[in-house]
A and B are shown apart, each in its own frame.
Chain A
Amino acid sequence: MDKEYVGFAALPNQLHRKSVKKGFDFTLMVAGESGLGKSTLINSLFLTNLYEDRQVPEASARLTQTLTIERRGVEIEEGGIKVKLTLVDTPGFGDSVDCSDCWLPVVRFIEEQFEQYLRDESGLNRKNIQDSRVHCCLYFISPFGRGLRPLDVAFLRAVHEKVNIIPVIGKADALMPKETQALKQKIREQLKEEEINIYQFPDCDSDEDEDFKRQDAEMKESIPFAVVGSCEVVRDGTRPVRGRRYSWGTVEVENPHHCDFLNLRRMLVQTHLQDLKEVTHDLLYEGYRARCLQSLARPGARDRASRSKLSRQSATEIPLPMLPLADTEKLIREKDEELRRMQEMLEKMQAQMQQSQAQGEQSDAL
Chain B
Amino acid sequence: MDPLRRSPSPCSPQASSPESPPCEMLGYVGIEAVLDQLKIKAMKMGFEFNIMVVGQSGLGKSTMVNTLFKSKMWKSTPPGLGGPTPQTLQLHSVTHVIEENGVKLKLTVTDTPGFGDQINNDKCWDPILGYINEKYEQYLQEELLITRQRHIPDSRVHCCVYFVPPTGHCLRPLDIEFLQRLCRTVNVVPVIARADSLTIEEREAFRRRIQHNLKTHSIEVYPQKCFDEDVNDRILNSRIRDRIPFAVVGADREHMVNGRCVLGRKTKWGIIEVENMAHCEFPLLRDLLIRSHLQDLKDITHNVHYENYRVIRLNQSHVLPRGPGWVNLAPAPPCQPSSPGLTKVCRWAQDNSDEDS
Which chain A residue shows the least CB distance to B121?
A: A97
Which chain B residue shows the least CB distance to A36?
A: B167
What class of interface size applies to chain B in its complex with A?
Answer: 35 or more
Best-surrounded residue of A174, A177, A185, A258 (most CB of chain B within 10 A): A174
Which chain B residue shows the least CB distance to A62?
A: B173
Instruction: Among B80, B193, B213, B265, point to the contact of A182 (Cβ < 8 A).
Output: B80
Q: CB distance A100 to B57 under 8 Å?
A: no
Q: CB distance B120 to A98 under 8 Å?
A: yes
Q: How far is the CB of B148 from chain A (nearest CB, A)?
A: 42
Q: A62-B172, A179-B78, A182-B78 are in contact. Are A245 and B122 (CB under 8 A)?
A: no
Q: How far is the CB of B338 from chain A (nearest CB, A)?
A: 37
B313 contacts partner chain A, Cβ-Cβ < 8 Å? no
Q: Which of A144-152, A266-274, A285-293, A328-336 contacts B (4 or more CB under 8 A)?
A: A144-152
Which chain B residue shows the least CB distance to A101?
A: B119
Q: CB distance A185 to B80 under 8 Å?
A: yes
Report the separation of the CA atoms of residues A22 and B138 in the bound assembly, to the nearest whole angstrom: 76
Best-surrounded residue of B80, B171, B177, B200 (most CB of chain A within 10 A): B80
A363 contacts partner chain B, Cβ-Cβ < 8 Å? no
Report the separation of the CA atoms of residues A60 and B180 in the bound assembly, to the nearest whole angstrom: 13
Q: Which of B16-24, B271-279, B291-299, B316-324 contacts A (4 or more CB under 8 A)?
A: B271-279
Q: CB distance B267 to A146 under 8 Å?
A: no
A176 contacts partner chain B, Cβ-Cβ < 8 Å? yes
Q: Which of A78-86, A247-255, A294-302 contacts B (4 or more CB under 8 A)?
A: A247-255
Q: How far is the CB of B272 from chain A (nearest CB, A)?
A: 5
Contacts of A247 in B (CB 8 A): 200, 278-279
B127 contacts partner chain A, Cβ-Cβ < 8 Å? no
Instruction: Among B56, B60, B279, point to the contact of A248 (Cβ < 8 A).
Output: B279
Report the separation of the CA atoms of residues A99 and B266 in the bound assembly, to the nearest whole angstrom: 35
Report the separation of the CA atoms of residues A167 and B267 in the bound assembly, to the nearest whole angstrom: 23
Which chain A residue shows the least CB distance to B174?
A: A97
Q: CB distance A97 to B177 under 8 Å?
A: yes
Q: How far is the CB of B324 from chain A (nearest CB, A)?
A: 42
Instruction: Among B79, B81, B118, B200, point to the contact of A175 (Cβ < 8 A).
Output: B79
Report the separation of the CA atoms of residues A59 and B85 in the bound assembly, to the nearest whole angstrom: 27
A35 contacts partner chain B, Cβ-Cβ < 8 Å? yes
Q: CB distance B270 to A97 under 8 Å?
A: no
Q: CB distance A151 to B119 under 8 Å?
A: yes
Instruction: Among B58, B119, B170, B196, point to the contact of A150 (Cβ < 8 A).
Output: B119
Q: CB distance B167 to A34 under 8 Å?
A: yes
Q: CB distance B271 to A248 under 8 Å?
A: yes
Contacts of B283 in A (CB 8 A): none
Q: A144-B59, A171-B197, A248-B270 are in contact. Are A98 and B78 (CB under 8 A)?
A: no
Contacts of A171 in B (CB 8 A): 166, 197
Contacts of A186 in B (CB 8 A): 79-81
Q: How far is the CB of B56 from chain A (nearest CB, A)?
A: 7
B165 contacts partner chain A, Cβ-Cβ < 8 Å? yes
Q: How far is the CB of B269 from chain A (nearest CB, A)?
A: 4
Q: A95-B173, A146-B77, A252-B269 are in contact. Are A59 and B166 (CB under 8 A)?
A: no
Q: CB distance B196 to A246 under 8 Å?
A: yes
B169 contacts partner chain A, Cβ-Cβ < 8 Å? yes
Q: CB distance B85 to A150 under 8 Å?
A: yes
Q: CB distance A179 to B79 under 8 Å?
A: yes
Which chain A residue shows the least CB distance to B59?
A: A144
B176 contacts partner chain A, Cβ-Cβ < 8 Å? yes
Q: CB distance A246 to B119 under 8 Å?
A: no
Contacts of A185 in B (CB 8 A): 80
Best-surrounded residue of B78, B209, B271 (most CB of chain A within 10 A): B78
A3 contacts partner chain B, Cβ-Cβ < 8 Å? no
Q: CB distance A145 to B57 under 8 Å?
A: yes
Contacts of B82 in A (CB 8 A): 146
Q: CB distance A97 to B122 under 8 Å?
A: yes
B217 contacts partner chain A, Cβ-Cβ < 8 Å? yes
B117 contacts partner chain A, Cβ-Cβ < 8 Å? yes
A96 contacts partner chain B, Cβ-Cβ < 8 Å? yes
Instruction: Among A143, A146, A252, point to the contact of B57 (Cβ < 8 A).
Output: A146
Q: CB distance B170 to A145 under 8 Å?
A: no
Q: Which residues of B contact A (CB under 8 A)?
A: 56-60, 77-82, 85, 117-122, 165-174, 176-177, 193-194, 196-197, 199-200, 209, 213, 216-217, 265-273, 278-279
- 18 A-B pairs within 8 Å (CB atoms) are namely A60-B213, A96-B173, A99-B121, A144-B56, A144-B79, A146-B80, A154-B119, A173-B197, A173-B269, A178-B78, A187-B80, A244-B199, A245-B199, A248-B269, A249-B269, A249-B271, A250-B269, A258-B269
Instruction: Give the 7 A-B residue pairs with the shortest CB-CB distance, closest first.
Output: A35-B167, A249-B270, A182-B80, A186-B80, A174-B197, A249-B269, A248-B270
